Amino acid sequence: MKNATHAQSAPSQPAAQAGDAATDAVASAAAITADPRWAALCARDPAAEGRFVYAVRSTGIYCRPGCPSRRPKPENVQFFADGEAAAAAGFRPCRRCRPEEAPLAQRQAAVVADLCRFIEAAETPPTLAQLAARAGLSPHHLHRLFQAHTGLTPGAYAKARRAERLRQNLAAGQGVTEAAYGAGYNASSRLYSEARRVLGMTPGRFRQGGAAEEIRFAVAQTSLGALLAARSARGLCAILLGDDPLALVADLQARFPKARLIGSGPEEEGQTAGAAGSADFAAWVAQVVGLVEAPRLGLALPLDLQGTAFQRRVWQALQAIPPGETRSYTEIARDLGLPKAVRAVAAACAANPLAVAVPCHRVVRSDGSLAGYRWGLERKAALQQRERQQAENPAASAAPPRPRPGTKAAP
């Protein structure tokens, strides 16, 4: 009787095993749902492509994170770093999402990279139809895909590469006609119609290193140290910051090695020759100094920005950042539609020739810390602090000091 009672109270072995299995399933499900990869799986997040795959034990199949198939039960899911690991564990690739193939974004990037090389190697810019046929896509789809990856349309990319080849050919000493045809310009009339936009001057003058180009400059003292402002016939072409005025002038000479540099300063005021031009430029310099002291005032002067198509896009993005705010290099790259171009964005910031007017000091690392600044991290920190204070107290920027520019003649 005693044994019978014990037998009735003790659970059967199969029931005990079932209970243990249920407990394990609950624990497994809890562990899976706590994994960040589960959230990416549920959201079918395209950004998770290439980071992992998931396998379903009940079907023996592994999938991409963005697979459109029905969501599996978490207790049946197992994550793997890649498809090879899942296959080694005995799982088969899904026939819907094809996880054994390269991710879609990677395949698209390869297509765009091939088209870029095709454009660069072509003697004349290929048409959109030719590019679409090469990629095996419709012209509309190709146009959108190319712009999403490069930030430029195929036509704009071709023009930018052609202009870059023209600069290289002219800088190498080729004649204007030879450089033009070598770069892909099939008519000299087209070259000269675009020269001002792509070179900032005529092709002949660019070939001579800016010879005969007149650039007026002045050096002023600001709360951040010495400031050099320079103006070409098209607008401000340089705003440089530093400690040594002579070093700033040397920097300007290196940028325009054959241009005629004209120093401007107070002692020219009152002179008959060039007095009007000097006084006009003094007002420009005063505005630039005022911008340094009170960035919220802005700058109502034309800018002569010379750079590649990508650099100009980055500089335009910098000018859109309001005073008192910052953006990370990653955010700018993402806003340009080029999330992987973070280093290229940083390089464009470093190449910026117009300090403060093109506010590369408003760009920081993703964690908010200061990154490199060609005019010194202390100045970058000071500019950011000044802008934050003036954003909190706009009245503080109502009447900034504007010291008169001092003359520093070119050595």
**Which position has the token pair 């806003």?**
335
Which positions are catalytic?
Answer: 63, 360
Judge whether 291 and 357 are in contact, CB under 8 Å: yes
Query: 24: buried, middle or exposed (CB in 10 Å: 19+, 13-18, 0-12)?
Result: exposed
Amino acid, single-letter form, for residue 143: H
d(CA 251, CA 242) in angstroms, rounded, equals: 10
Nearest partner of 93 among 70, 63, 52, judged by Cα: 63
**Which position has the token pair 């419709």?**
138
Nearest partner of 183 among 125, 250, 103, judged by Cα: 125
Tokens read off for 368: 């908010």
Residues in Cβ contact with 149 at an 8 Å cutoff, skipping those fewer than 6 apart = 108, 109, 112, 337, 338
Residue-by-residue DSSP string for 17-37: HHHHHHHHHHHHHHHHHHSHH
Measure Cα distances from 313 to 81, 152, 234 in Å: 37, 10, 19
Nearest partner of 348 among 134, 82, 151, judged by Cα: 151
